[in-house]
C-alpha cells in the first residue's frame, strides 16, 4: 500500500520520479482501510530533504500509512520557506489530543550544546513524555536518540575529538529480534555527529537493551519498553549524496572536517559514493513498522487510549 500524504507535498513529485507510489489524502479517503497513523517531528534544518528521505523508507511496506508532520512551536527554521511550514506542519498543541501508531523524531544540529541550553528543550521534553501515552512505538534518530535517552534515563553524551563521519559496519547483539529480520551479520550505516553515547552507561540501566554496535562508530541501536522506543545514533535514512553534500558544506565554511570514511569509491571523492546501506535501511523501517507498530497497535485508533494505562 502507498503512503497517504497531504496534497502538494514536494516529496511526492520527487519520489514519483523514483517510481515510488504515493497518493494524496483525497484518493486515500476512498479506500476502506484504517491506515497506520504516523507523525514525524522533523528537527533537521533541510525539512524537504529529510521528509523525502523518511517517506522513501516508509513507503517500502504493504501497509497504508497516513503521515503528519509536527514542528516545534518555539523554533523557526531558517532553511525552509515559512509557506512550506504553514502548509504541511502543525504545532504540537494542535496534535496533542491525537493518538498515533508511530512517531519518528529526527536529529537536529544542536548536538554540541548541553541539552538544557537548547532553546526548545522544555517543549521537546513535553513531547517525549506525551509520546509514552499517545504513541505505540517511537523511533528516535541521532541527536533525538541522545536527547530521549538523557531525558528518560539520564544517559550523558560526550564530545568526540573529531566528527564521526562516514559509513561504518555494525553487528547485532540480539540477532533474532524482529527488528533485525533479514539483516546480514554485518551491515552498514552512515554516521554524522560530533558527540556520542557510551556502552558503559547503557548497560548499567536495566530497562535499556543495547541491540547493535560498531567497532568504529560505537553504540548504534538501543531499545526500551519492549520495542515501544528505539534509539538509533546513525542516519540509515540518508540519501546516497547526503554525506558528500555535508562534506562540501563543511569545507566551504572552513570547518575542520575530514572526508567521510568508507564512503567514496577507492576513497576518492571524484569517483562518488559507494552506497552500501540502503538494503539495511529499508529492512529497518519495514521491520519497525510491521513488528513494532502494526502488530502492536490496536485495530481501532480510538483504542490506543489504553496506552495511558501501560
Which element (helix H / strand E) includes 92?
A: helix 92-95
According to the model, what pLDDT value does residue 294 have? 87
Q: Which residue is catalytic, options 134, 150, 235, 280? A: 235
Cα dihedral 35, 37, 138, 284 in deg (nearest 10)? 40
Number of Cβ within a 10 Å radius of residue 302 = 9
Please confirm, yes or no, whether 111 is among the known catalytic residues. no
User: Is the pLDDT score of 227 beyond 60?
Assistant: yes
Q: Which residue is catalytic, options 66, 142, 191, 280? A: 142
Q: Which residue is catalytic, options 66, 111, 237, 246? A: 237
Domains and CATH numbers, the chain: 3-160+171-239+277-309 (3.40.50.880)
Number of Cβ within a 10 Å radius of residue 128 = 20
Poorest-pLDDT segment among 45-54, 203-212, 235-244: 45-54
Please confirm, yes or no, whether 237 is among the known catalytic residues. yes
Which element (helix H / strand E) includes 27?
A: helix 25-28
User: Is the pLDDT score of 27 beyond 50?
Assistant: no
User: Is the pLDDT score of 287 beyond 80?
Assistant: yes
Chain centroid to Cα 274, Å, comes to: 22
Q: Are 88 and 6 in contact (CB under 8 A)?
A: yes
Closest to 236 in 3D by CA, of 68, 104, 136: 104
Write phi, then psi, for 85 (nearest 5 degrees): -65, -40
- Give CA separation, 32 vs 36, 102, 289, in Å: 13, 21, 20
Please confirm, yes or no, whether 75 is among the known catalytic residues. no
Q: Which residues contact residue 212 at a Cβ distance below 8 angstroms, ignoring those fewer than 6 apart?
A: 170, 171, 172, 173, 180, 220, 221
Name the residue with cell 542516519: 235
> What percent of the chain is predicted at pLDDT more than 90?
70
User: Is the pLDDT score of 108 beyond 70?
Assistant: yes
According to the model, what pLDDT value does residue 60 have? 79
Provide the pLDDT confidence category of residue 64 given band limits of 50, 70 and 90: confident
Amino acid at each position: 500500500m502507498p503512503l497517504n500524504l497531504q496534497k502538494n507535498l514536494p516529496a511526492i513529485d520527487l519520489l514519483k520520479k523514483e517510481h515510488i507510489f504515493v497518493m494524496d489524502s483525497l484518493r486515500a479517503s476512498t479506500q476502506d482501510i484504517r491506515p497506520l497513523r504516523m507523525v514525524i517531528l522533523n528537527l533537521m534544518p533541510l525539512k524537504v530533504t529529510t521528509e523525502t528521505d523518511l517517506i522513501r523508507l516508509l513507503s517500502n511496506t504493504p501497509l497504508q500509512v497516513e503521515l503528519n508532520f509536527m514542528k516545534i512551536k518555539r523554533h523557526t527554521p531558517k532553511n525552509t520557506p515559512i509557506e512550506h511550514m504553514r502548509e504541511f506542519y502543525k504545532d504540537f498543541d494542535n496534535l496533542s489530543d491525537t493518538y498515533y501508531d508511530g512517531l519518528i523524531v529526527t536529529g537536529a544540529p544542536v548536538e554540541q550544546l548541553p541539552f538544557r541550553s537548547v532553546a526548545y528543550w522544555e517543549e521537546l521534553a513535553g513531547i517525549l513524555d506525551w509520546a509514552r501515552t499517545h504513541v505505540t512505538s517511537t523511533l528516535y534518530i541521532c541527536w533525538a536518540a541522545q536527547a530521549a535517552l538523557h531525558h528518560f534515563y539520564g544517559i550523558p553524551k560526550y564530545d568526540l575529538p573529531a566528527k564521526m563521519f562516514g559509513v561504518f559496519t555494525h553487528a547485532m547483539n540480539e540477532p533474532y529480534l524482529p527488528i533485525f529480520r533479514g539483516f546480514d551479520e554485518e551491515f552498514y550505516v552512515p554516521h554524522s555527529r560530533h558527540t556520542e553515547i557510551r556502552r558503559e552507561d547503557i548497560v548499567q540501566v536495566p530497562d535499556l537493551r543495547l541491540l547493535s554496535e560498531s567497532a568504529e562508530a560505537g553504540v548504534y541501536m538501543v531499545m526500551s519498553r519492549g520495542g515501544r522506543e528505539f534509539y538509533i545514533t546513525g542516519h540509515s535514512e540518508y540519501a546516497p549524496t547526503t554525506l558528500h553534500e555535508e562534506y562540501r558544506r563543511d569545507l566551504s565554511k572552513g570547518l575542520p572536517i575530514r572526508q567521510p570514511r568508507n564512503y567514496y569509491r577507492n576513497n576518492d571523492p571524484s569517483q562518488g559514493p559507494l552506497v552500501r546501506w540502503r538494503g539495511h535501511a529499508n529492512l529497518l523501517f519495514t521491520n519497525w513498522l510491521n513488528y513494532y507498530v502494526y502488530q502492536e497497535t490496536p485495530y481501532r485508533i480510538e483504542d490506543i487510549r489504553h496506552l495511558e494505562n501501560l
